[in-house]
A = this chain, B = another copy of it.
Amino acid sequence: MANATGTAEAQGVTRALAEFVVAARVESIPDAVRHEAARSLVNWMGCALGGSHHETLDTALAALQPFAGPPQAGVIGRSERLDAPTAALLNGMSAHVLDFDDTHLRTLLHPSVPVASSLLALAEYRLQNGKVLPGAEFLEAFIVGVDVECRIANAIYPTHIEQWYITGTAGVFGAAAAVGRVLGLDAAGITRAFGIAGTQAAGLREMAGTMCKCFVHGRAAQNGMLSAFMAQAGFTSSDRVIEAPRGFARVLVGDCDLGVILDGLGERWELALNTYKPHACGVVAHPVIDGCLEVRNKHGVTPDQIVAVDLRVHPLALKLTGIKAPRGGLESKWSLFHSAAVVFCDGVAGEAQYTDDRVFNPQVAALRERVNAVADAGLRDDEAHVAVTLVDGRRIDIHVEHALGSVDNPMTDGDLERKFTDLAGDTLPAGRAAQLLESCWQIGKLADAAQLARFAVP
């Protein structure tokens, strides 16, 4: 890999990215990318509704509400109204807490959390000042913000994710870009916003399985948003936060290839690579879940028939979801072993399968003990082999070529609508959920993007 500051194009990458944020025009964005943006919003909003009453949100609200500012923006799925940056934090947290949100598969970054969460809070905030954020402008800023964060992520993946939550670190630039664009900052302003954002980039992977995981994701939305407002006020920062010798890339990654950040800028849109999860857990475990479901459903296998489940997976699947004995619901999302066991028992891997209740269920726990996994560097990350040995001596082998929800086997719009409706079910009445769903699909045509927030209140 090239040295972070060694190439000519890397020298001005922060500024070049800022100029792109200012200059990108809606007419240059293909329809397919705009449709992908609507799909992303449908999925993001559904996840936020589904996560809106998670214990993590209740706990964060209990701690933060006494310090929150004026009621400028709503918390999705709840009645509280808070200052806009705190609302962005909480909506980012609820959208991610179920580990059910979207994934830029090239980098495992979750694109919508920082960008959509900050933009929705901004749309509501602007209304306080009598300004409307038209849906078309929201959509455009969303696409640009996602492009920025994913391009930075492209440059630092995969080394960076060994230790950091890439949505926490690269995501803060996406939120700064999207909010800065709506605020009308010029390239110098966006550059400053990137600096203010980048010096707050944080999020340790050590937090897996704790409430802090979704917290650092939400912080990307909040801190990125605040960075744009601070830049607007004239707050100063480095003008080369990404590429400087003591800047973001070198310090948080080491050597990496910054040249890829500008590669095809304005021609190729990273949002086109966005994917959505059919299962409520780490995306790298999805091929295994698909394989186990096939064994269960096509071969009628029940948990008590199983002697052993032998999984062969991409190395990242073991690295990211290799927890053998999860200590609770949040941690079970990072256990390939739990995912395999619980879908044999329940036939589905929704949010209800990643709870303390299912983790400590005797049948699930016993089957989890009989699941084994090995890494195979020859596999793609959306691929897996599942071999199940039964008490009658039979062995069933399944090869999952492309997990459902991967780029090569995407969820359909109908799949996404069903997922949304399931997730919204406990929070919104059916009629209201349907209105909100329709507004997400129609985002580009809404007179006021803040309408999403109004429909998202129970």
Contact = CB atoms under 8 A, between A and B. Distances in A.
Contacts of A205: 246
B69 A206 contact: no
B236 A163 contact: no
Contacts of A240: 206
Contacts of A215: 196, 199, 235
B212 A199 contact: yes
Interface residues of A, number: 57
Contacts of A56: 235
Given A195-B212, A211-B235, A234-B59, A206 B67 contact: no
Nearest to A163: B251
A70 B11 CA distance: 44
A434 B241 CA distance: 43
Interface string A227-261: 00110111111101100111110110000000000
A99 to B, nearest CB: 15
A199 B195 contact: no
A354 B254 CA distance: 34
A453 interface: no
Contacts of A133: none
A63 interface: yes
Contacts of A86: 67
In this complex, the member of A68, A202, A203, A215 whose beta carbon has the largest number of chain B beta carbons within 10 angstroms is A202
In this complex, the member of A67, A201, A219, A244 whose beta carbon has the largest number of chain B beta carbons within 10 angstroms is A67
Contacts of A199: 202-204, 206-207, 212, 215-216
A403 to B, nearest CB: 26
Contact of A241 (B195, B206, B244): B206
A63 B204 contact: no
B69 A233 contact: no
Contact of A63 (B163, B226, B251): B226
Copies of the chain in the assembly: 2
Contacts of A421: none
Nearest to A202: B202
A8 interface: no
A355 interface: no
Contacts of A200: 202, 216, 219
Interface in A168-209: 195-196, 198-207
A163 B241 CA distance: 12
Contacts of A153: none
B206 A247 contact: yes
A204 B235 contact: no
B164 A226 contact: no
Contacts of A363: none
Interface in A38-92: 56, 59-60, 62-64, 66-70, 72, 83-86
A162 B247 CA distance: 11
Interface of A: 56, 59-60, 62-64, 66-70, 72, 83-86, 162-164, 195-196, 198-207, 210-212, 215-216, 219, 226, 229-230, 232-238, 240-241, 244-248, 250-251, 330
Instruction: Give me the 4 closest cross-chain CB pairs, A-B, nearest first.
Output: A63-B233, A67-B83, A206-B246, A63-B230
Given A67-B86, A210-B237, 16 more contacts: A59-B230, A59-B234, A62-B233, A63-B233, A66-B70, A67-B69, A67-B70, A69-B69, A69-B83, A162-B246, A164-B251, A199-B202, A199-B206, A200-B216, A211-B236, A212-B238
5 contacts: A64-B226, A64-B230, A67-B229, A199-B216, A206-B248
